[in-house]
Amino acid sequence: MPITITGFRLPWAMRNHDVNASSRASIPGPADPSVLPAPWPFQAQGEIRGAPAIDYAGNLYVGTTAGQLYRVAPSGTGEVVYAAQAPITTSPALVEAAAVGEGEPPGVGAVYFGGDDGFLRCVDRDGSLLWALTPAQGVPLRSSPAAYRGPGGGLTSVYIGCDDGRLFAVTESSPMSAAMQWEYATAAPLRTSPVLSVDGGSVHVATADGYLHVLDAATGQLRYSR
């Protein structure tokens, strides 16, 4: 098996690392690690149920059941950047900001996360709300969002499942606004995460009643279900 050389992309952009849920990092992990002492662990309020998303600078974005989105620096210091007032039980998804010069870390363009109040929110790296949408207010979003931005930048599409069984596709029309693009109804609460093909062309969602649905990412049209 050849050793392939590829760019890094965001170190851990969302649940399971990337839109195709490879769970595979681009770099070596520790060889003989230990749990780091103070100032670690960073203590947040509530439970952490979703794995953190991580940007190039090593900042962690993590939500809690107390409804807060934290940004934690690799030094172990952190802060609440957004208070959602409703539990966040899944991993946020990051997209990077526009390309920068060589040797400069791309920043985070946007952070997407769902809450138990039914809102999918988009905030900037400092937690300022860019937009919020609710496909069904009050129906929890307990599926980690998958955020896809095509090669060369452009507008982001976000896919997320809802406890009422619907899968939603949201597309940004600008960094400050987004609209529901399509929805697809399944028969069971959707708490797994949507997973995209590497090219972003299809969305895969698995359901608690044992089905795999594969949809066209642009239109929501069913390609197959089994």
Q: According to CB under 8 A, which residues from 32 to 71 bind another protein?
A: 32-36, 39-54, 56, 58, 60, 62, 64, 66, 70
Least CB distance to another protein at residue 85 (A): 17
Question: How many chain residues touch another protein (CB under 8 A)?
Answer: 85
Of residues 65-124, those binding another protein (CB under 8 A): 66, 70, 72-78, 91, 102-106
Instruction: Tell me which residues in 147-176 interact with another protein (CB under 8 A).
Output: none
* Distance separating alpha carbons of residues 6 and 119, to the nearest angstrom: 35
Is 12 a binder of another protein (CB under 8 A)?
A: yes
Q: How far is the CB of 186 from another protein (least distance, A)?
A: 11
Which CB, 51 or 178, lies closer to another protein? 51
The phi and psi torsions of 205 (rounded to 5 degrees) equal -140, 135
Cβ closest to another protein, residue 43 vs residue 137: 43
CB 217 within 8 A of CB 171: no
Q: How far is the CB of 137 from another protein (least distance, A)?
A: 25
CB of 206 to another protein, least distance (A): 4
87/225 Cα distance (integer angstroms): 31
Using the contact rule CB under 8 A, the part of the chain among 7-15, 114-122, 129-137, 167-175 near another protein is 7-15
- Residue closer to another protein by CB (options 1, 98) is 1
CA–CA distance, 211 with 139 (Å, rounded to integer): 22
- Cis preceding linkage at 92, omega within 30: no
Instruction: Give min distance, CB of 89 to another protein, in A.
Output: 10
Nearest in space to 60 (alpha carbons), one of 74, 46, 49, 47: 74
Please, what sign has the CA dihedral across residues 87, 91, 92, 93? negative
String of DSSP letters for 145-182: -EEEE-TT---EEEEEE-TTSEEEEEEEEETTEEEEEE
Compute the least distance from the CB of residue 114 to another protein, in Å.
15
